[in-house]
Chains A and B, each alone.
Chain A
Amino acid sequence: MKGLNKYSIEHKMLLSFLTLFILAMILAGAFSYWSTYQLYKETMLIKFNETTEYLHGFYEYLLDLEERQKITTQEAQAQFLQMVQSIYEDSDIKITTKEGAILLEQTEGIQPDSIFAQEIIREEYLAWGWLIQSSIVINPLAPFLIDIQKYTIILVIMTSMIVIQIIIGLSHHFAQPIKELVESVEKIDVNIYPEVRLSGRKDEIGILYQAFSNMLLRLKKSQFKIMKMQKLQKSIIESTSFGIISVTYPSEQLLMNQAAKQIFKKEYKLFRLNKSPIKQGLFYKVKEVARQTWQEKKEQSTLYTREHEQNRFVVELQTKLLYGEDNKEIGVLCNLQDITEKVELEERMIRLDRLVSLGELAAGIAHEIRNPLTGIKANTQVLQKRLSTLEKQGVSDATFLPFMTRIIKEINRLNQMITRLLQFAKPKESKQELIDLSAIITDTLPIISKQLEERCVQIIREEQPGLLFLFDYDQLKQIIINLLLNAIQASANNSQIVIKTGLRGDIVFLAIEDFGKGMDTQTLQKIFNPFFTTNPSGTGLGLSVVHRLVEENEAQISVYSQPGVGTRVEIAKKKIKKGDTHDKNSDDY
């Protein structure tokens, strides 16, 4: 408990009671002193008067004796003086003759030593020619009075202390519970409900305590409900994949949920932004759009796209005005959605559709071409045979034969292309099985050894042993062959190609990396299109087939390339976990 506040109830009660009491005690003390003094004064006066009257009576008695000549005048005067000396104790007396001679002077009484002292003087002329001057001093500070008043003062001090202590105790008794109540009220805060100890009193303060305690209980319950609801709302906002940002104006204070923070972080990571992305990137864009919404009082919807090298980041940003309690605009609510994957998926779907359509078209054409081509080939072969026979007989010119051979070769090439086209358009149904990546690479490399030798290209294998792909064996082999052939073709003589396998999180990948001429972004976007090729002797179907086969086996293909540096093609597939396959021998791949 802190010291007394001068405006507190206890303070006011104490001050008023103490003032009243001190006043009463001063008055009582003063009255007591005054009445004692009056009594003392009266007693002294009575005594003084009695003495004076007694002396006067004695004087008349002496005169009477003198008249009767029982005593002489001198004897009477002597007896008178003797009497005066014996009866005047507390008062002064002085007897002088007509001539001014002092016969008697007694000053043993109290002198008027203070300004409050009062002197009462009596004078009487006697027949003997004497003047009697008697006086008495009534002093309010007389020792007698002080002695009596010492006890009165002690009594006043004692009583005052007792009463003051009682007043302090009573003030405390009334004010303390109220103070405690005030302290409890001051402690109340969100989630803090101080325990109110019931005072155990049955008066108004006790009732106040009870009411306050009940009120706290109700408040606690309501607060609990509100908290629960707030928690639920917060949980909903936090668990949604949409980034939500509220911007209040004019302070431009921002509040955002976890998803929004993740979106900003993603951009920061992808594009390695500065640590303070205030004037760049999505954060700045959000603030800009929000400000625009606030100024124009109009909802906005925009796409934020950022691309750099292989990275892409697309966010859909929508803003709405926020309204306060009085239906007045208080800020802007921004809704962010990272749609990068969605956009990429859409693009892939479009590409796939295009490939499928193209494939179907090509297959139809191929089918139509293949039949007449078979006839052309058969007839050409017949012609070749006949020409050969005629040549042997010397009938024909032998120079025609190489032309025939060339025609058949071209027909074969055409046939091969048609086979590939048909393979691309309608590959055989994939039969997925667990394939050891290192093993399949080992199996595949001999197939292309001739091409490798021709270009003097060295294969460097950086494999993680024991990695498995759930894939169609023939199709994966085909993919590896196609990719290696492309890599060889792109590589310069005496260069290297790296085959890498590994595990990235729960993704198993197989990457083929060459250090050839590389591709620019525009080329990269087209490489999976059928018949697109940068090699004049190529068919433009190799990568289209790879893409198709990868899709067929539910894997992902990524190509990273930089002109003049090289190209890396990566096939990735989710790691097979125990239970994901029916292969009982599989454990964790």
Chain B
Amino acid sequence: MDNMDIFISLFFFLVYSTFILYFGKYGLGQSSHLRTFFVANNSLGLWASIFTFCATWISMTSLLAITGAFYLEGITPLFSVILGWLLGASLLLLIVNKLREYDLLTIPQFFAKRYQSKLLQVLAGFVNICIHLIYMVIQIYGFGLILSYLLDIPYLLAISMVYLFLIYTTFGGLHSIARTDKLNFYWIILSILSLAIWLAWKLIEKGEFASYAGQVLTFNPLLLPASREFTSSLDILSFLSVSIIWICGKATHTQYLIRVVSAKSAQTATKMIWVSILILSVFYLIIAFIGTSSGYLITEYVDQNPNEIILLIIRDISNSYLTSFIFLGFLASSISTANSQLLIFTSSFSYDVLNILFKQRINEQHLGVINRFLILGGASCAFLLSITPPSTLLGTGSYIWGILACTFFWPFYGGLLWKRATTKGAYAAMFVGLISCLLFTYYDTYYQQSQVHPAIYGLVFSGILFFGVSLYSTQNGKIDNEGT
């Protein structure tokens, strides 16, 4: 990287930072109440909701890991990962109206309202805290990688800079995040399009577009070796188990559910989901093109860390302006996801755990101050953990979704869509789902790798217990309150 490149990169970084400062400021005046801070006073319009939904969705997993997977495995991830994710998002359509009737501030609060159990709220809050902390680590790791590539600085210095963006944008609550997500969304999309156009131009320049297309279309995923990234599917059982976990995990992911709540109406939320699925479908097709075309054009990175392949390819672009612009787009995606997760981490910690455990001593004003400290604390914990990041982003993401699916899927969707769901059923499903998921994942990781996703056992157990215990307790005349 020569001198001018550094200055260009620094210039782009400065421009992005200035934009973030400007857009993030808006939320500071909107964060005086918990409802405003956590769910933007349930007032987000259609496009604001779409921008924040999509910007939060497009994370380091999508940009680094999935692109790397496309590079290595061809279009297989479209079926083994992306399809499951989008189907999971479409499940949200089933519960929009019912979920909004509960008038929630946080998603764990649903369990308290539906099942009249504060313990379930605390448990859900605790799981949320752990999951989102790990997820933040993935984003910060991605942030560090990108920034170290962009500015040619050590990884540790790069990840320490995450504070600049993360804390600032989260301090203003969901309003601030939604505003900065608008900028992030545009930048991500433009950078992805720029990269795709550059690769397409390279293919055309070399006269190999037809050859590339032929190779992609005749790609046989069954010829690939098994991958612990859960992107390759060797057999139908493996494919189904992984897909089910992706679907159930995405469908119960708090950061998407909270955007259903924060939309100004059920109609807006429904439209948000439809349009977002459409945008994301196009987005993943572009990502598939980027991954596969770069895999076709540049073959020397096959042995590299899959998460860094796309960064190496971007670095190879001869135009420093384009390189910096694309890198900043990737950086924007990590920030937009991380700040959303930090807000969920904070809301779960303060409202679902501390507020329940110390209700007598905490009022709304206290919670406002506590939230700020938790943002600092959460960001710091995630920063410390990201010093030694996970080796595989997609694998870690898959385990996180596994825990979400096992713990929340049945009590959440069952509670909303099945009238006979009982508190006991929810208890059994959540506890057994979580514990069995952790045990099977541990066994799978350290003892014997299973052909199917380990979390599938937890999901099955959780479902059986949820329906079984609910029906049993209903037959014994103990029908729970249905909530609102």
Contacts and interface: CB of A to CB of B under 8 A. Distances in A.
Contacts of B3: 141, 143, 146
Nearest to B167: A165
Contacts of B26: 3
Interface string B18-34: 00010001101110100
Interface string B303-338: 000000000000000000000000000000000000
Given A141-B3, A143-B3, A168-B25, A157 B365 contact: no
A200 B365 contact: yes
Contacts of A161: 17, 21, 164, 168
A277 interface: no
Interface in B135-188: 151-153, 157, 161, 164, 167-168, 171
Q: Most chain-A CB neighbours within 10 Å: which of B3, B30, B167?
A: B3
Contacts of A162: 164
A57 interface: no
Interface stretch (B6-14, B105-113, B247-255): B6-14
- The A interface, classified by DSSP as helix, strand, loop or mixed, is helix
A150 interface: yes
Contacts of A157: 10, 13-14, 17
A586 B103 CA distance: 65
A390 interface: no
A352 to B, nearest CB: 76
Nearest to B372: A169
Contacts of A164: 21
Interface residues of A, number: 23
B10 A153 contact: yes
A395 interface: no
Nearest to A165: B168
Contact of B29 (A146, A165, A179, A200): A179
Interface in A143-171: 143, 146, 150-151, 153-154, 157-158, 161-162, 164-165, 168-169
Contacts of B161: 158
Contacts of A107: none
Nearest to A153: B10
A436 to B, nearest CB: 67
A76 to B, nearest CB: 43
A150 B28 contact: no
A150 B164 CA distance: 18
A145 to B, nearest CB: 9
A3 B25 CA distance: 10
B17 A154 contact: no
B21 A154 contact: no
A180 B29 CA distance: 10
A9 to B, nearest CB: 13
Contacts of A320: none
B21 A176 contact: no
Q: How large is the interface on B (under 10, 10 to 19, 20 to 34, 35 or more residues)?
A: 20 to 34
A154 B152 CA distance: 11
B291 to A, nearest CB: 31
A37 to B, nearest CB: 14
Given A3-B26, A154-B153, A165 B21 contact: yes
A41 interface: no
A165 B153 CA distance: 23
A154 B10 contact: yes
B29 A172 contact: yes
Q: Most chain-B CB neighbours within 10 Å: which of A154, A180, A200?
A: A154
Interface string A1-45: 101100000000000000000000000000000000000000000
B21 A150 contact: no
A153 B25 CA distance: 24
Given A141-B3, A150-B6, A162-B164, A169 B153 contact: no
A470 B32 CA distance: 78
B151 A150 contact: yes
Contacts of B30: 1
A176 B33 CA distance: 13
B363 to A, nearest CB: 10
A172 B161 CA distance: 23
B164 A165 contact: yes
A168 B21 contact: yes
B27 to A, nearest CB: 10
A164 B164 CA distance: 10
A179 B28 CA distance: 13
B441 to A, nearest CB: 38
A161 B32 CA distance: 23
Contacts of B28: 168-169, 172, 176
A165 B20 CA distance: 11
B6 to A, nearest CB: 5
Q: Most chain-B CB neighbours within 10 Å: which of A3, A158, A161?
A: A161
A1 B29 contact: yes
A151 B21 CA distance: 21
Interface in B348-368: 365
Contacts of B365: 200
Contacts of B10: 150, 153-154, 157
Interface of B: 3, 6, 10, 13-14, 17, 21, 25-26, 28-30, 32, 151-153, 157, 161, 164, 167-168, 171, 365
Interface of A: 1, 3-4, 141, 143, 146, 150-151, 153-154, 157-158, 161-162, 164-165, 168-169, 172, 176, 179-180, 200
22 contacts: A1-B29, A1-B30, A141-B3, A143-B3, A146-B3, A146-B6, A150-B153, A151-B153, A153-B10, A154-B10, A154-B157, A157-B10, A157-B13, A157-B17, A161-B17, A161-B21, A161-B164, A165-B164, A168-B25, A168-B28, A169-B171, A176-B29
Given A146-B3, A157-B13, A168-B28, 15 more contacts: A1-B29, A3-B26, A146-B6, A150-B10, A150-B153, A153-B10, A158-B161, A161-B21, A161-B168, A164-B21, A172-B25, A172-B28, A176-B28, A176-B29, A180-B32
Please give me the 4 A-B residue pairs with the lowest Cβ-Cβ distance, nearest first.
Answer: A1-B29, A146-B3, A161-B164, A172-B28
